[in-house]
Amino acid sequence: MNIEELRTYCLSLKGVTEDFPFDESTLVFKVSGKMFCMTDLDDDLSINVKNEPEKNVELREEYPAIKPGYHMSKVHWNTIDLDGSIHDDFIKNLIDESYDLVVMKLKRQEQQKLKSY
């Protein structure tokens, strides 16, 4: 997966926006203003995504390209190197899980708004 494929996929999800809230190279994807995926455009391609703490541990043990979230909560976030060692479909699944976790924590009104997209 390259940066354009990542960007296209994230923006295809309901209600997603992109932003550079931290600096000019850190691209952040948000749903209803809440971050679910981010990447640094200046470094080797990797993404930070959210998941359940137990699943994060399992993923890190199984895949060398998945590490505790860089500059993020190590409990809730993983950094995934997009070096080709993990299949794109699996990466998309992890992005979806991150998106879904964020949506589940939104207020009911925000969740309903997303359903209308």
- Side chain identity, residue 111: Q
Whether pLDDT at 43 is above 90? no
As a whole number of Å, the end-to-end CA separation of the chain is 26
Question: In sequence order, what are the residues at sequence separation of 6 or more whose Cβ sits closer than 8 angstroms to the Cβ of residue 36?
Answer: 29, 30, 49, 50, 95, 98, 99, 101, 102
Pick from 86, 48, 47: nearest CA to 65? 86
- Side chain identity, residue 47: I
pTM, two decimals, is 0.94
At 82-101, the pLDDT tens digits run: 999 999 999 999 999 999 99
Q: What is the pLDDT of residue 115?
A: 86
Q: What is the pLDDT of residue 117?
A: 79
Whether pLDDT at 40 is above 90? yes
70: confidence class by pLDDT, cuts 50, 70, 90: confident
Taking the CA atoms of 27, 31, 35 and 38 in sequence, report the sign of the dihedral they define: negative
Pick from 28, 62, 30, 60: nearest CA to 47? 28
Q: What is the pLDDT of residue 33?
A: 95
Instruction: Answer yes or no: are the C-beta atoms of 30 and 98 closer than 8 Å.
Output: no
Q: What is the pLDDT of residue 5?
A: 96
Domains and CATH numbers, the chain: 3-112 (3.90.1150.30)
What CA–CA distance (Å, rounded) separates 49 from 95?
6
What CA–CA distance (Å, rounded) separates 114 from 110?
6
